Structure 1
Amino acid sequence: MQTYTLTDALNKHSEVFDKAAIEPVLLTKQSQPSHVIMSAKSYEKLINRLKELEDMVLVQTAEAALSQSKMVGTEVFTSTMMQLAETGFQEWNDPEEDIYK
């Protein structure tokens, strides 16, 4: 990456833009980076790559969450629910609550 001071960029603007067409150009103000100039094509490639990396991170996060989750089968679920119903609703055992008599 080529670096120019802001003053050099003003004096050599044609050269700066020619370089920016090939690769990003860093502009500095008092030796501190302040701006980057790049072509629209380079910017588009940068943004597309950023989106790809974000998608990869999301996929990795989802895969990690899935691998750490526990899947419960229907038999285990039904058995657990029946146990909860039997212990949670003791009034079902009262003779006056028997709807099948």
Structure 2
Amino acid sequence: MQNYSLDNIGQVSEDVLEQAKHQPVVLMENANPSYVLMSAEAYRSLLRRLEDAENQVWGELAEKAVDSASMVGSDTFVSELKQLAALEEAQP
């Protein structure tokens, strides 16, 4: 990643934009990173990767929730179904 001082940005703007086409460019102010300049395609790619990562995390959390959950009253429901099935079998 290339670094440029904001004090000199006017003199190197063409170079900065050319560099940003290929990789992110850090703009420095008082020796501290202030901004990151990147191409629109690199930015879109970054957003897609972030969205994919979020979806993966949410999917894993949902799977864990389903695996550890049980339906409220499921035992009673199953018991009632068995009783209904037994009644059905007992009728001619």
TM-score range, shorter chain: 0.7 to 0.9
Q: Deviations over 1:28-75 (max 9, x none)?
A: 100111111100110110111111111111101101111111243532
Over aligned residues, Cα RMSD in angstroms?
1.6
- The percentage of aligned residue pairs carrying the same residue is 32
Stretches of structure 1 lacking an aligned partner (at least 5 in a row): 80-101
Q: What is the match of residue 90 of structure 1?
A: none
- The alpha-carbon deviation at position 9 of structure 1 amounts to 2.1
Query: Residue 75 of structure 1 aligns with which residue?
Result: 78
Alignment of 1:57-76 (within 5 A): 57-71=57-71, 72=74, 74-76=77-79
1:86 corresponds to: none
Bigger-Rg structure (1/2)? 1
Which residue identity does 2:47 align to in structure 1?
Answer: I
CA distance in 1, matches of 2:78, 2:50: 45
Deviations 1:59-95 (A, max 9, x none): 011011111112435324x39xxxxxxxxxxxxxxxx
Provide structure 2 residue ranges, at least 5 long, that are not aligned to the other structure.
Answer: 82-92
2:3 aligned counterpart, secondary structure? strand
Number of aligned positions between the proteins: 78
Query: Amino acid of the residue matched to residue 43 of structure 1?
Result: Y
Q: Aligned-pair distance for 1:11? A: 1.2
Q: TM-score, normalised by structure 1?
A: 0.70
Letter in 2 for 1:53: A
The corresponding residue for 1:13 is 13
Hey, which bits of structure 1, 4+ residues long, moved more than 6 A? none
AA aligned opposite 2:70: K
